[in-house]
Structure 1
Amino acid sequence: MDSMIYLDNAATTKTAPEVVDAMIPYFGELYGNPSSIYEIAGKSKEAVDKGRSQIADVLGVSPEEIYFTAGGSESDNWAIIAAFESCKSRGNHIITTKIEHHAVLHTCEYLERERGAKVTYLDVDEKGMVDPKELERAITPETILISVMYANNEIGTIEPIQDIGKIAKEHEILFHTDAVQAFCQVSIDVAACNIDMLSSSGHKINGPKGIGFLYIRRGVKIHSLIHGGAQERKRRAGTENVPAIVGYGVAASRAWNSMESRTKKEVQLRDYMIDRILREIPYCRLNGDRVRRLPNNVNISFQFVEGESLLIMLDMEGIAASSGSACTSGSLDPSHVLLAIGLTHETAHGSLRMTLGEDTTKEDIDITVEKIKAIVKRLRSMSPLYEDFMKKQH
Structure 2
Amino acid sequence: MQQVYLDNAATTQVRQEVIVKMQEALATVYGNPSSIHSFGRSAKTVVEKARKTIAKYINAHPAEVIFTSGGTEADNMILRCAVRDLNVETIITSKIEHHAVLHTVEELAKEYQVKLHFVQIDAYGNPDLNHLESLLAKDETKKLVSLMHVNNEIGNLLDLHAVGNLCQKYDALFHSDTVQSLGHYPWNFKETPIHFLTAAAHKFHGPKGIGFAVIKRNSGLKPLLFGGSQERGFRAGTESFHNIVGLEEAFTISYNSLAEEMAYVKDLKAHFINGLKRELPGVAFNGYSADMDKSTYTLVNVRLPFNEQKSLMLLFHLDLKGIACSKGSACQSGSDLGSHVLTEILPEEELKKPSVRFSFSKYNTKEELDYTISILKEFANS
Distance 1:126 1:374 in 2: 31
Deviations 1:130-166 (A, max 9, x none): 1222111111311421111011000100011110011
Indicate the residue corresponding to 2:125 in structure 1.
128
Alpha-carbon distance change, 50 to 349 in structure 1, aligned in 2, over 3 angstroms: farther
Retained in 2: the 8 A contact 1:124–1:130?
Answer: yes
Shift of 1:242: 0.3
Indicate the residue corresponding to 2:96 in structure 1.
99
Q: 1:298 aligns with which of 300, 312, 316?
A: 300
Shift of 1:255: 0.5
TM-score between the two structures when normalised by the length of structure 1: 0.92
Distance 1:133 1:260 in 2: 34
Indicate the residue corresponding to 2:23 in structure 1.
24
Shift of 1:193: 2.5
Indicate the residue corresponding to 1:118 in structure 2.
115
Alpha-carbon distance change, 364 to 97 in structure 1, aligned in 2, over 3 angstroms: same
Deviations 1:3-42 (A, max 9, x none): 4111000000011111111111332331100000111111
Q: Does 1:14 align with 2:41?
A: no
Indicate the residue corresponding to 1:386 in structure 2.
none
Indicate the residue corresponding to 2:49 in structure 1.
50
Indicate the residue corresponding to 2:236 in structure 1.
237
Indicate the residue corresponding to 1:342 in structure 2.
346
TM-score between the two structures when normalised by the length of structure 2: 0.95
Indicate the residue corresponding to 2:381 in structure 1.
377
Distance 1:45 1:298 in 2: 41
Retained in 1: the 8 A contact 2:60–2:188?
Answer: no
Aligned length: 375
Describe how 1:1-394 pairs up with structure 2 within 5 A. 3-88=2-87, 91-139=88-136, 140-289=139-288, 290=291, 291-303=293-305, 304-305=307-308, 307=311, 309-344=313-348, 347=351, 350-378=354-382
Indicate the residue corresponding to 1:383 in structure 2.
none
Retained in 1: the 8 A contact 2:91–2:115?
Answer: yes
Q: Which SS does the other structure have where 1:28 is aligned?
A: helix
Q: Which SS does the other structure have where 2:300 is aligned?
A: strand
Shift of 1:308: 5.0
Distance 2:184 2:178 in 1: 10
Distance 2:283 2:354 in 1: 9
Shift of 1:87: 2.1
Query: Where in structure 2 are there 5+ consecutive unaligned residues?
Result: none
Deviations 1:209-243 (A, max 9, x none): 00010000112111212011110111100100000
Query: Percent identity, aligned pairs only?
Result: 37
Distance 1:372 1:153 in 2: 23
Retained in 2: the 8 A contact 1:130–1:160?
Answer: no
Distance 1:346 1:199 in 2: 33
Deviations 1:56-104 (A, max 9, x none): 111111111100000000000011111111122xx51000111100000
Deviations 1:247-282 (A, max 9, x none): 001100111111111111111111221122133213
- One-letter identity of the residue aligned with 1:100: E
- One-letter identity of the residue aligned with 1:362: K
Shift of 1:345: 6.7
Distance 2:168 2:194 in 1: 9
Distance 1:345 1:51 in 2: 49
Q: Which SS does the other structure have where 2:237 is aligned?
A: coil
- One-letter identity of the residue aligned with 1:116: Q
Distance 1:311 1:242 in 2: 38
Q: Which SS does the other structure have where 1:214 is aligned?
A: strand
Shift of 1:283: 2.8
Alpha-carbon distance change, 143 to 340 in structure 1, aligned in 2, over 3 angstroms: farther
Retained in 1: the 8 A contact 2:174–2:196?
Answer: yes
Distance 2:111 2:154 in 1: 31
- One-letter identity of the residue aligned with 1:299: N
Alpha-carbon distance change, 212 to 282 in structure 1, aligned in 2, over 3 angstroms: same
Retained in 1: the 8 A contact 2:68–2:211?
Answer: yes
Q: Which SS does the other structure have where 2:28 is aligned?
A: coil
